[in-house]
Chain A
Amino acid sequence: MYNAVLAFPADFDGWREAARRALALGTRPEDLSFTVGEAAPGLFAEPLPDQVPDDAAQPTVPRAFPDLARKMVCHADEDRFSLAYRLLWRLSGERRLLEIASDPDILRATQMVKAVHRDSHKMKAFVRFREIEDSALGRHSVAWFEPFHHTVELTAPFFARRFAGMIWTILTPERSAHWDGEALSFLPGATRDMAPGDDDMEALWLTYYASIFNPARLKVKAMTAEMPKKYWANMPETALVKPLIAGAKAAERRMLETAPTLPSFRHAKQEERRAMSLPRDEMPIGRDEAALPQTIAEAREAAEECRACPLWEPATQTVFGKGPDDAPVIFVGEQPGDQEDIAGEPFIGPAGKVFDQALAAAGIDRRQAYVTNAVKHFKFEPRGKRRIHAKPTMGEVKICRWWLNQERRLVRPKLIVALGATAAAAVLGKTVTIKATRSTLIDVDADTRLLVTVHPSYILRLPDAAAKARETEAFEADMALVLRTVPELAVGG
């Protein structure tokens, strides 16, 4: 029967050193006890020998064990050191022990670590500093705190990281921590009367505590679950808890019984000012109004309010076309995607990148063209933090065609490029296949021709690199055809 003596209640390094020696000596868990400081060991225990056999193997443990043990030894339980040693002992035979959450030793260790975590967390939360002017140290922040486990060493580094620019001391009955602005040191325990009695900020803190409380939703149990009464003694605001609860029902009743009052004079004046400053033509131009938009800017503004189909509701905004009012070419895509919906501009996402590359390869300046979509709102299915593109129905395309027609009427392009089948259908008013219409110039009216090609996202989705290269080439060839048809689009043109 051996006994190991540790320096202080959460002496992890001392425990580790002793545990290694005991393991090397083959000491069974039931033959080893631990005592802290001056405490008397058991009657028959002899001190753990300093020397270990030279051939003793260095024990190895799972990576998670040292951290577990470090937290365990902070627990108030007297058996904490023995239990930690028993786990170490068992680990040499049961390598996977830590993963068996239902094992009684592991369960107890987990509970201990949880309790230590909680106590340490509550210490971070509930320590209240009071400031004093110290002739030697200057402004000195001092707190009195009573932890329920041996958590001072574990938690003090948190305060050092947080209050590095202050000089502070946390006094507790067992161990005290001090930060001098440079380094952390631990001092012996203290008593409550060594801490300052009050602080001039406390009155304001109490005012805040009372005012932020909402008497209409009293939930005392929820409060005490998170702020157990055992911590209250050292928190000034808890003196208010009783009177606030007592006054809550009355405060709520008063609030409900007081009849609504008439708005103030200030409010009336403000309303008057607002009414004066509203623009006269505030009414948005509705689709059913007789007046059609006269410019692209007007059409864009009107489209912002469009609710002709249900797609507006889940989307962020209407993504209208972008480009010069008199562009010679309109590129029409299917619908905006995730990024277009956020930014409010067409073809800026991944498909837009493919589109831009093809234009660059063909020597087309995108700024000279008008770029838009057949459907102006993003249609999608929500999937957690992602939005999955959903194909617009022909009904939705038909409804939104009204806006595309306004764009065509106002821009009056020589050429329309339909990117994909949805765009082609929106321009032609009937469904066509890409295969049948691709890469040929189709007359749609006296002044305008149509070129149908694939949508750039089609190229993006191809899994096979060879197919991707082939389709990119074909798409670039179509863009080259666009430039031959409308040479004004050339870069620098």
Chain B
Amino acid sequence: MPTLDLRQKLAILSDAAKYDASCASSGAAGRNSVKSKGIGSTEGSGICHAYAPDGRCISLLKILLTNFCIYDCAYCVNRSSSNVQRARFSVDEVVALTMNFYRRNYIEGLFLSSGIIKNSDYTMEAMVRIAKKLRLEENFSGYIHLKTIPDASPALLEDAGLFADRLSVNIELPTDLTLSALAPEKDARDIRRSMGHLRAKIEEHRGEKRDRLKPKRFSAGGQSTQMIVGADLSSDDDVLTRSENLYGNYRLSRVYYSAFSPIPDASSKLPLAKPPLMREHRLYQADWLMRFYGFQRAEIVAGGEGGMLDLTVDPKLAWALKNRARFPVDVNRADREMLLRVPGLGTRAVKRILSTRRHRTLRLDDVARLCQSIDKVRPFVTALDWSPGGLTDEDGLRDRFVPRAKRAASQLELF
């Protein structure tokens, strides 16, 4: 095999990493380089340094240490039976790339993942060595996210958590059964145990509120995971059931949904057609409704049909259209919980409504100034000078929210 130069390796190993949706650099403990005179800072909220034409944020240098892999997961571009070109970075190459990119303000830090070579511990050890070197030798205070390998030894995970801002293990698929069908070497129980182990470590290191001397932070940005949507026959209900379980069991910071996208040299076990990207978007919206808007999973799923979310309208609107008896809501009197259920009102708009109405009674114009689009809100609220009358219960209400061109097509074709 001809030797590859750094640029070729970077091309191969970032191409191999792009199917991981997460690029978040948020949630890390506040830290900077003022005292250390090194390089790097994390200030809570993440920064996207560029956007690619796929609409995704480029925040981190997202690469694999190597795309050689002994596993043969059908949905993965790097599976052992695929004939993609292989490459491997050295520890020093990754460290130098990260520092050079960071110094030029291209990135917030490093998101390192890897195919599994030799065995889990061997691979994990190399990844931890990179994080350690960045922190201790390069005096680097930027963001580090390590994708951990589920059955790596606890001692390695411990080290990883001390040097990284976030650790994650991918759950990959919505059910254990499809996971074992498509990823024969992966064991869903190992993945869950690993997440449980991380949760225990994160909580142990968080310390008690009253502790004067806090323990060293362990993966301060929490842990996250990714689920591939559309590679198996699981419904949106299956997907959301899994997320609900993961948030509750392991206190995850985020579950990422990644619409299965065609990969080069795909396995014959996979569907040929890709799921509509809108499905991924709707799942994110549903996830948000569960976490920040007080919706139960069952309510959200009932807004669609047969366990699938409505692709044409967002899940909150879909729910409201099926529960019109609960509307209209009086913006001057309703409690926060009910305001959050009004289509078109986000958490920020609700906060501003609650603050403003303490001092004056809101008219529809006031509401319009506080939210993004009053058209969506209008049929579902009453205000001092506004009542929707029969609009709330109108048969054609749903059609008002569907752009005419899209009414015919049930799925959005992206151009």
Instruction: Indicate if the CB atoms of A256 and B272 lie closer than 8 Å.
Output: yes
**B291: Cβ under 8 A from any A Cβ:** yes
Interchain CA distance A124-B45 in the complex, whole Å = 12
Instruction: Indicate if the CB atoms of A209 and B247 lie closer than 8 Å.
Output: no
Contact pattern, B 365-381, Cβ under 8 Å of A = 1, otherwise 0:
11101100000000000
Contacts of B83 in A (CB 8 A): 261-264
Interchain CA distance A255-B262 in the complex, whole Å = 7
**A203: Cβ under 8 A from any B Cβ:** yes
The B115-146 residues at the A interface (CB cut-off 8 A) are 139
Instruction: Indicate if the CB atoms of B7 and A99 lie closer than 8 Å.
Output: no
Instruction: Indicate if the CB atoms of A204 and B6 lie closer than 8 Å.
Output: yes
The A299-317 residues at the B interface (CB cut-off 8 A) are 304, 313-314, 316-317
Contacts of B199 in A (CB 8 A): 342
**A460: Cβ under 8 A from any B Cβ:** no
Instruction: Indicate if the CB atoms of B58 and A212 lie closer than 8 Å.
Output: yes
Q: Which of B34, B53, B414 contacts A161 (CB 8 A)?
A: B34
Q: Which of B53, B196, B353 contacts A343 (CB 8 A)?
A: B196
A387 with B261: in contact, given A161-B33, A164-B33, A213-B54 (CB under 8 Å)? no
Nearest residue (CB) in A for B8 is A207
Nearest residue (CB) in A for B259 is A217
Contacts of A208 in B (CB 8 A): 10, 14, 61, 101
Contacts of A207 in B (CB 8 A): 7, 10-11, 14
A212 with B17: in contact, given A99-B355, A201-B100 (CB under 8 Å)? yes
Instruction: Indicate if the CB atoms of B352 and A101 lie closer than 8 Å.
Output: yes
**B39: Cβ under 8 A from any A Cβ:** yes
**A435: Cβ under 8 A from any B Cβ:** no
Instruction: Indicate if the CB atoms of B277 and A217 lie closer than 8 Å.
Output: yes
**B104: Cβ under 8 A from any A Cβ:** yes
Interchain CA distance A286-B139 in the complex, whole Å = 53
**A219: Cβ under 8 A from any B Cβ:** yes
Instruction: Indicate if the CB atoms of A204 and B7 lie closer than 8 Å.
Output: yes
Q: Which of A161, A204, A217, A263 contacts B10 (CB 8 A)?
A: A204
Contact pattern, A 100-116, Cβ under 8 Å of B = 1, otherwise 0:
11100001000000000
Interchain CA distance A317-B392 in the complex, whole Å = 48
Contacts of B277 in A (CB 8 A): 217, 219
Contacts of A256 in B (CB 8 A): 262, 272
**B329: Cβ under 8 A from any A Cβ:** no
Nearest residue (CB) in A for B269 is A260
Nearest residue (CB) in A for B58 is A212
Q: How far is the CB of B236 from chain A (nearest CB, A)?
A: 17
**B244: Cβ under 8 A from any A Cβ:** yes
Interchain CA distance A199-B105 in the complex, whole Å = 13
A261 with B38: in contact, given A100-B356, A102-B366, A317-B192 (CB under 8 Å)? no
A214 with B56: in contact, given A203-B7, A316-B193, A344-B193 (CB under 8 Å)? yes
Interchain CA distance A245-B103 in the complex, whole Å = 29
Contacts of A222 in B (CB 8 A): 51, 55-56
The A103-146 residues at the B interface (CB cut-off 8 A) are 107, 121, 124-131, 141, 143
Interchain CA distance A341-B18 in the complex, whole Å = 34
**B50: Cβ under 8 A from any A Cβ:** yes
The A184-226 residues at the B interface (CB cut-off 8 A) are 199, 201, 203-205, 207-223, 226
Contacts of A451 in B (CB 8 A): none
**B263: Cβ under 8 A from any A Cβ:** yes
Instruction: Indicate if the CB atoms of B359 and A100 lie closer than 8 Å.
Output: yes
Contacts of B189 in A (CB 8 A): 304, 317
Q: Which of A221, A264, A343, A383 contacts B248 (CB 8 A)?
A: A383
Contact pattern, A 49-61, Cβ under 8 Å of B = 1, otherwise 0:
0000000000000
Instruction: Indicate if the CB atoms of A212 and B356 lie closer than 8 Å.
Output: no
Contacts of B251 in A (CB 8 A): 385
Q: How far is the CB of A493 from chain B (nearest CB, A)?
A: 32
Q: How far is the CB of A328 from chain B (nearest CB, A)?
A: 31
**A267: Cβ under 8 A from any B Cβ:** yes
Nearest residue (CB) in A for B292 is A384
Contacts of B105 in A (CB 8 A): 127-129, 143, 163
**A294: Cβ under 8 A from any B Cβ:** no
Interchain CA distance A150-B401 in the complex, whole Å = 39
Interface size class of B (residues with CB under 8 A): 35 or more
Nearest residue (CB) in A for B360 is A100
Contacts of B352 in A (CB 8 A): 101-102
Q: How far is the CB of A451 from chain B (nearest CB, A)?
A: 33
**B214: Cβ under 8 A from any A Cβ:** no
Contacts of B39 in A (CB 8 A): 162-166
Interface size class of A (residues with CB under 8 A): 35 or more
**A160: Cβ under 8 A from any B Cβ:** yes
Instruction: Indicate if the CB atoms of B47 and A124 lie closer than 8 Å.
Output: yes
User: Which of B40, B53, B414 has the most C-beta atoms of chain A within 10 angstroms of its own C-beta?
Assistant: B53
Contacts of A218 in B (CB 8 A): 53-54, 414-415
A270 with B34: in contact, given A209-B58, A213-B52, A214-B19 (CB under 8 Å)? no
**A487: Cβ under 8 A from any B Cβ:** no
Interchain CA distance A77-B244 in the complex, whole Å = 46
Interchain CA distance A209-B106 in the complex, whole Å = 10
Contacts of A42 in B (CB 8 A): none
Interchain CA distance A383-B41 in the complex, whole Å = 35
Instruction: Indicate if the CB atoms of A217 and B54 lie closer than 8 Å.
Output: yes
Instruction: Indicate if the CB atoms of B192 and A384 lie closer than 8 Å.
Output: no
Interchain CA distance A252-B359 in the complex, whole Å = 56
Interchain CA distance A165-B99 in the complex, whole Å = 12
Instruction: Indicate if the CB atoms of A219 and B55 lie closer than 8 Å.
Output: yes
Interchain CA distance A125-B250 in the complex, whole Å = 32
Contact pattern, A 162-175, Cβ under 8 Å of B = 1, otherwise 0:
11111000000000
Instruction: Indicate if the CB atoms of A165 and B53 lie closer than 8 Å.
Output: no
Nearest residue (CB) in B for A96 is B359
Instruction: Indicate if the CB atoms of B18 and A163 lie closer than 8 Å.
Output: no
Nearest residue (CB) in A for B246 is A382
Q: How far is the CB of B195 from chain A (nearest CB, A)?
A: 8
Contacts of B40 in A (CB 8 A): 162
**B169: Cβ under 8 A from any A Cβ:** no
**A434: Cβ under 8 A from any B Cβ:** no
Instruction: Indicate if the CB atoms of B47 and A384 lie closer than 8 Å.
Output: no
Instruction: Indicate if the CB atoms of A166 and B265 lie closer than 8 Å.
Output: no
Interchain CA distance A263-B7 in the complex, whole Å = 26
**A227: Cβ under 8 A from any B Cβ:** yes
Instruction: Indicate if the CB atoms of B32 and A129 lie closer than 8 Å.
Output: no
Contacts of B106 in A (CB 8 A): 128, 201, 205
User: Which of B7, B104, B261, B369 has the most C-beta atoms of chain A within 10 angstroms of its own C-beta?
Assistant: B104
**A244: Cβ under 8 A from any B Cβ:** yes
Nearest residue (CB) in A for B39 is A165
Contacts of B43 in A (CB 8 A): 158, 161
A102 with B414: in contact, given A207-B10, A227-B50, A385-B247 (CB under 8 Å)? no
The A17-54 residues at the B interface (CB cut-off 8 A) are none
Contacts of A100 in B (CB 8 A): 355-356, 359-360
Nearest residue (CB) in B for A249 is B415
Instruction: Indicate if the CB atoms of B360 and A226 lie closer than 8 Å.
Output: no
The A373-421 residues at the B interface (CB cut-off 8 A) are 380, 382-387
Contact pattern, A 267-301, Cβ under 8 Å of B = 1, otherwise 0:
10011001000000000000000000000000000
**B90: Cβ under 8 A from any A Cβ:** no
Instruction: Indicate if the CB atoms of A130 and B104 lie closer than 8 Å.
Output: yes
Instruction: Indicate if the CB atoms of B36 and A121 lie closer than 8 Å.
Output: no
Q: How far is the CB of A82 from chain B (nearest CB, A)?
A: 21
Q: Which of A121, A141, A211, A344 contacts B15 (CB 8 A)?
A: A211
Q: Which of A131, A211, A274 contacts B104 (CB 8 A)?
A: A131
Q: Which 4 A-B pairs have the closest CB atoms?
A: A222-B55, A219-B55, A263-B81, A382-B248
Q: List 24 A-B contacts (CB under 8 A).
A: A125-B48, A128-B106, A162-B33, A163-B39, A204-B10, A207-B7, A207-B14, A211-B14, A213-B53, A214-B18, A214-B54, A217-B259, A217-B277, A219-B55, A219-B414, A223-B52, A227-B51, A235-B50, A241-B53, A266-B80, A267-B80, A270-B70, A274-B70, A313-B176
- Give 12 A-B pairs besides A128-B105, A211-B15 with Cβ atoms closer than 8 angstroms: A102-B360, A128-B104, A166-B39, A212-B17, A216-B262, A218-B415, A219-B414, A220-B53, A244-B53, A263-B82, A267-B72, A317-B189
